[in-house]
Amino acid sequence: TSSHEAKCISDIVGTISSRLSSLNTNDNKDLIGIETRLQDLISKLEIESGGVRMVGIWGVGGGGKTTLASAAYMEISHLFEGCCLLENIREESSKQGLKKLQENFLSLVLKTDVKVGNEIIGRSMIKSRLSHKRFLVVLDDVDNFEQLEALAGSHDWFGEGSRIIITTRDVHLLSSRAQTIYEVNLLSQDEAIKLLKRYAYHKDKPVEEYEMLAEEVVSYAGG
């Protein structure tokens, strides 16, 4: 029967997604300091609870907001009916405008080319297309309120159980949208030393004659 076929397809998709998620988890382990931060963020998303939840990731430029949001996306996207990671919103909005941003967003979510007449129509289309499914959405590098209004104007734009992650350098943008704000901690001294050694020396063991210089560099960079 068609219902039996649908269940079989759902089971297959679930199995493949869980295996992909396992691979992505292994990839995350290569990111220094990510595991604790990732689990902390996922707990704040409260995936098992109902409703629509928006969580903001806030921190300085280069502090790891996008890396953390991307890691979370890879880790949990298989749990949702649809997903989308919209990157570089600050830059793309400046270059192309909000209408184009909405088109990119809808095209990624719906996996087809979408055009909108204007920004107001774009808002209506996002709500009508996304309000009936459980979505995971990452809005990366938001820097003004108009971008949030155009892409995530209200919780009821998204279906029950949806989760929206917003990364920004401006904590004030999150106050009217996000239930929880996660502040990204910069690298500790040990984490920063480990990161520097991995990419400067291509190994985790210290190079004796550069130990003092490495500590000075890490101290100067400040996390």
| Cα dist from 42 to 30, 112, 119, whole Å | 18, 29, 32
Tell me, yes or no, if the pTM score tops 0.95: no
The domains found in the chain, sorted by start residue, are: 30-183 (3.40.50.300), 189-221 (no CATH)
Q: What is the pLDDT along the chain (223 residues), one digit of tens a residue?
A: 566 665 556 555 554 544 444 444 445 656 787 898 999 999 999 999 989 999 999 988 888 899 999 999 999 999 999 999 999 999 999 999 999 999 999 999 999 999 999 999 999 999 999 999 999 999 999 999 999 999 999 999 999 999 999 999 999 999 888 999 999 988 888 888 888 888 887 776 666 778 888 888 888 888 7
Q: Which residues contact 6 (CB under 8 A, 6 or more apart)?
A: none
